[in-house]
Structure 1
Amino acid sequence: MPAPNLALWEEVGKTDPKFTKEYTGPGGFTGTAVNAQYLAKRATSSSGLAVPAGGMT
C-alpha cells in the first residue's frame, strides 16, 4: 500500500505512451517528448486548477 503523501504521485506518475514522441536533438541526443496539452490536462484533472487559455506565464 502506497504512503498517503505519495497518493498524487501514484495517480499521475505514469504517462500514457500515445501522448509521447521520440526525438533526436543536437549532437545525437535522443529522448522522449510528452505532449504539453496532455500534461496540462493531467495537472488540471488532478488539482482542479484550470490553465489559462493563453498558457502559463
Structure 2
Amino acid sequence: MDVNVNAQVRDPREHINEEPRNDLGDLLAGFFGMTGFMTVVFFGMVIIKYLSE
C-alpha cells in the first residue's frame, strides 16, 4: 500500500510567526499608564467637588 501524502510538517518550537515582544516593558507601561490616568481622574474629581461647593 503506497500512501502519498504531501504534508508540510514543521516543528512548533520554531515560532515562525511570533513577533518579538517586550513583556516587562508592556507591563510597566500599562501599570504606570493606568496609575497616571487614575491620578488625573482623582485630582479632576477633587477639583470638581471643591468648585461645586
TM > 0.5 fold call: no
Q: Flag the structure with higher strand content.
A: 1
Over alpha carbons, which structure has the higher Rg?
A: 2
TM-score by length of 1: 0.30
- TM-score, normalising length: structure 2: 0.31
User: Larger relative CO (CA 8 A, sep 6+): 1 or 2?
Assistant: 1
